[in-house]
């Protein structure tokens, strides 16, 4: 065999051996077993300790509360939403006591009025809704029924009530336009109030031929955007807004 081929062969062999040695030492043991990563990282991720126990585990001991809770309006909540992470409490129940928020600041995190929240979600204005009193004086957080059936609409619809109060519609009762079932007061979303369905309803005061006082603005129902119900453009709780 020619000498140069032999020499080249030796060089290739040395390089090959170096590559194999480098691979053995540099590539972690479990790298590539499952993919382009160390398989042991899966176990590292999966073996972290759990901090939240999950609501199923709470009911094992606290059967009475769990039963009451399962039919209450807060049934979609996990116990740990208010009482905090409780895996440690399950480990040693007497050593780790889950806290119960009793101050007025906690409930408004969900129930404080905020226009970004979805319509119909029960909200209060913390400044005007029995100021100074902790929520739990009137409401049982495990079965949060309204303690008294609300007497007027503003108890829940404060924002609308305040807007309407300085609008041209201030003197109108809510029931002038909305028919409200009694059930709406205790189960707001189970029975929604009605809205006027026809243009003629607003036309009763605002139509050209209406018998209402002369200072009320008139509009010709036949020519003024006949395809729409009035409240599709005009905000009835503050009608003068453009």
Beta-ladder partners of 124: 112
User: Residue 124 — φ and ψ, nearest 5°?
Assistant: -130, 160
Q: Is 34 in the site for another protein (CB under 8 A)?
A: yes
Q: Count of H helices and E strands in the chain?
A: 9, 0
State in angstroms the smallest separation of the CB of 195 from another protein.
Answer: 19
Residue among 68, 72, 78, 150 that touches another protein (CB under 8 A):
78
The contact pattern for another protein, residues 101-120, with x = CB under 8 A and - = no contact, is: -------xxx-xxxxxxx--
Q: Report whether 218 contacts 183 (CB < 8 A).
A: no
State in angstroms the smallest separation of the CB of 85 from another protein.
Answer: 5
Q: Given the complex with another protein, which of 57 and 218 has the nearer CB atom? A: 57
Cα separation, 213 vs 216, whole angstroms: 6
Q: Given the complex with another protein, which of 80 and 230 has the nearer CB atom? A: 80
Cα separation, 178 vs 75, whole angstroms: 30
Beta-ladder partners of 38: 31
Q: Is 232 in the site for another protein (CB under 8 A)?
A: no
Please identify, among the stretches 75-83, 91-99, 187-195, 212-220, the one whose residues bind another protein according to the rule CB under 8 A: 75-83
Residue among 3, 24, 45, 171 that touches another protein (CB under 8 A):
45
The contact pattern for another protein, residues 119-158, with x = CB under 8 A and - = no contact, is: --x-------------------------------------
Cα separation, 123 vs 111, whole angstroms: 4
Residue among 28, 70, 93, 170 that touches another protein (CB under 8 A):
28
Size of the site for another protein (CB under 8 A): 39
Residue with tokens 């029975």: 191
Q: Is 231 in the site for another protein (CB under 8 A)?
A: no
The per-residue DSSP string of 78-112 comes to -HHHHH---HHHHHSTTT-PPP---STTTTHHHHB
Tokens, residue 166: 């300085």
Residue among 4, 23, 25, 48 that touches another protein (CB under 8 A):
48
Q: Catalogue the E-assigned strands of the chain.
A: none
User: Which residues make up the interface to another protein (CB under 8 A)?
Assistant: 28, 31, 34-38, 41-42, 44-52, 54-55, 74, 76-78, 80-81, 84-85, 108-110, 112-118, 121
């Amino acid at each position: 065999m020619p000498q140069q081929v032999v020499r080249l062969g030796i060089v290739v062999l040395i390089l090959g051996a170096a590559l194999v040695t480098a691979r053995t030492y540099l590539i972690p043991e479990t790298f590539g077993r499952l993919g382009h990563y160390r398989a042991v990282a899966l176990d590292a991720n999966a073996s972290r300790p759990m901090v939240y126990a999950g609501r199923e585990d709470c009911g094992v001991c606290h059967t009475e509360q769990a039963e009451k809770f399962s039919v209450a309006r807060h049934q979609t909540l996990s116990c740990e939403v208010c009482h905090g992470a409780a895996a440690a409490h399950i480990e040693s129940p007497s050593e780790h006591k889950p806290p119960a928020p009793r101050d007025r600041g906690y409930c408004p995190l969900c129930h404080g009025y905020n226009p970004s929240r979805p319509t119909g979600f029960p909200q209060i204005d913390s400044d005007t809704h029995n100021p100074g009193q902790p929520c739990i004086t009137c409401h049982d957080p495990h079965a949060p029924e309204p303690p008294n059936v609300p007497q007027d609409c503003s108890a829940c619809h404060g924002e609308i009530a305040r807007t309407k109060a300085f609008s041209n519609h201030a003197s109108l009762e809510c029931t002038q336009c909305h028919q409200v079932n009694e059930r709406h007061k205790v189960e707001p979303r189970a029975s929604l109030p009605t809205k006027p369905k026809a243009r003629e309803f607003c036309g009763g005061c605002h139509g050209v031929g209406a018998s209402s006082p002369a200072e009320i603005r008139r509009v010709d129902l036949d020519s003024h955007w006949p395809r729409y119900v009035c409240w599709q453009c005009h905000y009835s709780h503050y009608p003068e807004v453009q």
